[in-house]
């Protein structure tokens, strides 16, 4: 047995679990102190109702863009808040990038907002990176491509203040990559304040690369570059859609997923990296399944060493699919060796789901929510479908369609970003766009 004691936003969490791979949550003895209430696992039940707040437009910029929101990234904070960064544009190059806080006061059904603040004067054809530092609280890192400066990669520190804390301020740009980049993402170390890892497409080296970012006040600095994956000209094949997620149980360990394409064949890859200081060590990538997804693999937030990898399967009419993987732990193994589950699950059987996403909860064990964007179960329409399934080891139980219109065809919910709350049990936020950007919170049904 092993004890872990950690704190999230000042909330003490004592988590006692066995280091026995993906099955450890069934033997967990847990108690959490949250907002002066004691939650005992197995003691509180919530029905499987996914929507919590109404759908609300968040991207009310004043620039008369054709698309108020194009690409977005969302992360959760305490006090039923979400931090969202997104781009707005009329197409082609140009546009702007904004950041804003959404809040559902007391976990209610209505969303209110802080003021949208401009991050930079460009933003169209690339995704953004975002993660929040839950140790220092109310600080985050944004990564973006600066189209006015040869598409270089810039990072910005965002601070959040106020009562309630919904006011944002953006620090000066710091360049983490002078070469032109495509997509980027960032993940904060959940155990080390002011430390992140940035992963990105380097369009000059035609590689997916990563760097450690440390923050002093509002100033980022960067370590040396590590190569995660490279294009394969001899195939020929390209790599794209880098995505990173921090291990919630182990400091300095991250998963990275990326996509590989050759002659119409799309595949998803998963690799584990470890960080010591500013040095990155890269494990061996594994092919998880066919398809692509800008929002890639996620660690199980309640069970050690388990990972869920969603895709929209380009090789099978765009169906929503998911593979469950496990990783050797850092006590009995190297912490990087991946086992890919033997079953590729189809959670969304309708054709044309352009994007797929998955989320687990910090409090509810052995359950996953999955989302398919554009494409109803019948294969028509532009709505967002929300699914859940129980999980045992690397096996999903019965997959249930919880809400066929988590976002309706009017809002579309394209280019989604979804994240669960480390402070509010069962709570998650989802951001997507049609011509505007919309946000909605949900509650994941379960016992916690």
Query: Which of these, 71, 163, 44, 3, lies nearest to 448 by C-alpha position?
Result: 44
- Of these ranges, 48-52, 101-105, 403-407, the one predicted with the greatest mean pLDDT is 101-105
pLDDT in tens, 348-385: 987 777 788 999 999 889 999 999 886 555 444 567 88
For residue 34, name the pLDDT band (cuts at 50, 70, 90).
very low
For 23, phi then psi, to 5°, come to -90, 0
d(CA 283, CA 270): 10
**What does the H/E/C string look like for 262-305?**
ECCEEEEEEEEEEEECCEEEECCCEEEEECECCCCCEECCCCCC
Residue 109: what pLDDT? 92
- For the segment 2-7, the average pLDDT, to the nearest whole number, is 33
Range 406-422 average pLDDT? 79
**CB-based contacts of 233, cutoff 8 Å, min separation 6:** none
Q: Do 216 and 274 meet the contact criterion of CB atoms below 8 Å apart?
A: no
pLDDT at 366: 93
Q: Residue 87: what pLDDT? A: 85
The SS3 call for residue 24 is helix
Phi then psi for residue 24, to 5 deg, are: -70, -25
Give the pLDDT band (50/70/90) at residue 3: very low
* Helix (H), strand (E) at residue 311: strand 306-313
* Cα–Cα distance measured from residue 97 to residue 401, given in angstroms and rounded to the nearest whole number: 34
| Mean pLDDT over each residue of the chain, to the nearest integer | 84
Residue 42, C-beta contacts closer than 8 angstroms, at least 6 positions apart: 447
Mean pLDDT across 131-158? 93
In angstroms, the CA 440 to CA 366 distance is 24
Task: Please identify which residue in the block is written with the tokens 């707005």.
Answer: 88
Share of the chain above pLDDT 90, in %: 58
Average pLDDT (237-246) is: 94
344 and 316 in contact (C-beta within 8 Å)? no
Cα–Cα distance measured from residue 34 to residue 11, given in angstroms and rounded to the nearest whole number? 6
Mean pLDDT over 18-42 rounds to: 31
* Residue closest to 129 by CA, chosen among 200, 233, 46: 200
Q: Does 173 score more than 60 pLDDT? A: yes
Tokens 């692509």, residue located: 292
For the stretch 72-116, pLDDT in tens is 899 999 999 999 998 887 666 567 889 999 999 999 999 999 999
Q: How far apart are CA 99 and CA 83, in angstroms?
A: 7
Confidence of residue 2 (pLDDT cuts 50, 70, 90): very low
Over residues 408-426, the mean pLDDT reads 81
Question: Which of 220-234, 309-323, 422-436 shows the lowest per-residue confidence on average (mean pLDDT)?
Answer: 422-436
pLDDT score recorded for residue 43: 47
Which domains are assigned to the chain?
2-447 (2.120.10.10)
In angstroms, the CA 314 to CA 225 distance is 31
What phi-psi label fits residue 58: left (phi over 0), alpha (psi between -120 and 50 degrees) or beta?
alpha
Token duo for residue 259: 């996509």
- Tokens matching residue 145: 């491509």
- pLDDT value at position 382? 62
Whether residue 35 is predicted with pLDDT greater than 60 in this model: the reply is no
Cα–Cα distance measured from residue 44 to residue 425, given in angstroms and rounded to the nearest whole number: 10
Query: Residue holding tokens 């409090």?
Result: 363
pLDDT at 46 over 90: no
Instruction: Specify the pLDDT at position 37.
Output: 30
Contacts of 338 (CB under 8 A, 6+ apart): 270, 271, 272, 283, 284, 286, 307, 325, 326, 327
* End-to-end Cα, the chain, rounded Å: 22
Among 26-40, 77-91, 126-140, 236-250, the range scoring the smallest mean pLDDT is: 26-40
Residue 22 has pLDDT above 50, yes or no: no
Mean pLDDT for 265-277 is 96
Question: Which of the four pLDDT bands, split at 50, 70 and 90, describes residue 432?
Answer: confident
Pair 255, 269: CB distance under 8 Å: no
| Mean pLDDT computed over 307-334 | 92
Token pair listed for 332? 């009995």
At residue 196, the pLDDT reads: 98
306 alpha carbon, distance to own chain's centre: 15
Residue partners of 109: CB distance under 8 A and separation at least 6: 52, 53, 54
For strands 414-420 and 11-17, give the pairing.
unpaired
Interior angle at CA 408, CA 63 and CA 400, nearest 5? 140
Distance CA 160, CA 386 (A): 30
> Does the pLDDT of residue 314 top 50, yes or no?
yes
pLDDT on residue 40: 35
- How confident is the model at residue 397, as a pLDDT? 97
Cβ contacts of 116 within 8 Å, gap of 6 or more: 59, 60, 61, 98, 99, 100
Task: Give the model's pLDDT for residue 78.
Answer: 93
Query: Tokens standing for 143?
Result: 């990564």
Question: What does the block give as tokens for 311?
Answer: 């895709």
**Averaged pLDDT, 228-254:** 94
Pairing status of strand 384-392 against strand 400-407: antiparallel
C-beta of residue 118 within 8 angstroms of C-beta of residue 124: no
Residue 228, both tokens: 């995660």
Buried b vs exposed e over 28-48: b needs ≥16 C-beta within 10 Å?
A: eebebebeeeeeebeeeeeee
């Amino acid at each position: 047995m092993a004890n872990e004691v950690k704190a999230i936003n000042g909330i003490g969490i004592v988590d006692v679990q066995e280091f026995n791979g993906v099955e450890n949550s069934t033997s967990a003895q847990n108690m959490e102190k949250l907002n002066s209430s004691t939650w005992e696992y197995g003691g509180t039940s919530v029905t499987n109702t996914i929507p919590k707040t109404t759908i609300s437009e968040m991207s009310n910029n004043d620039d008369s863009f054709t698309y108020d929101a194009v690409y977005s990234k969302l992360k959760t904070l305490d006090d039923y808040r979400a931090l969202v960064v997104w781009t707005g544009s009329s197409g082609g190059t140009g546009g702007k990038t904004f950041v804003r806080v959404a809040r559902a006061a007391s976990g209610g059904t209505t969303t209110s907002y802080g003021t949208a603040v401009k991050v930079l004067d460009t933003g169209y054809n690339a995704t953004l990176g975002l993660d929040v530092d839950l140790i220092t609280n109310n600080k985050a890192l944004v990564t973006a491509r600066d189209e006015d400066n040869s598409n270089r990669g810039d990072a910005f520190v965002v601070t959040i203040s106020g009562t309630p804390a919904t006011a944002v301020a953006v620090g000066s740009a710091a360049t983490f990559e002078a070469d032109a980049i495509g997509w980027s993402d960032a993940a904060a170390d959940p155990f080390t304040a002011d430390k992140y890892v940035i992963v990105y497409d380097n369009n000059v080296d035609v590689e997916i690369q990563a760097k450690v970012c440390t923050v002093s006040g509002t100033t980022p600095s960067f370590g040396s570059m590590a190569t995660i994956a490279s294009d394969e000209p001899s195939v020929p094949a390209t790599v794209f859609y880098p995505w990173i997620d921090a291990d919630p149980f182990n400091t300095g360990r991250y998963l990275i997923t990326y996509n590989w394409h050759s002659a119409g064949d799309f595949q998803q890859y998963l690799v584990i990296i470890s960080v010591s200081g500013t040095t990155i060590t890269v494990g061996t990538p594994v092919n998880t399944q066919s398809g692509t997804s800008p929002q890639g693999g996620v660690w199980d937030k309640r069970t050690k060493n388990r990972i869920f990898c969603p895709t929209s399967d380009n090789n099978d009419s765009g169906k929503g699919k998911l593979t469950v993987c496990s990783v050797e732990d850092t006590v009995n193994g190297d912490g990087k060796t991946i086992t890919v589950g033997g079953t590729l699950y189809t959670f969304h059987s309708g054709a044309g789901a352009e994007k797929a996403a998955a989320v687990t909860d910090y409090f509810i064990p052995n359950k996953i929510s999955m989302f398919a964007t554009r494409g109803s179960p019948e294969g028509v329409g532009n709505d967002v479908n929300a699914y859940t399934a129980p999980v045992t080891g690397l096996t999903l139980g019965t997959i249930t369609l919880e809400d066929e219109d988590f976002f309706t065809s009017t809002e579309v919910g394209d280019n989604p970003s979804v994240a669960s709350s480390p402070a509010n049990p069962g709570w998650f936020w989802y951001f997507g766009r049609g011509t505007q950007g919309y946000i909605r919170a949900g509650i994941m049904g379960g016992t916690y």
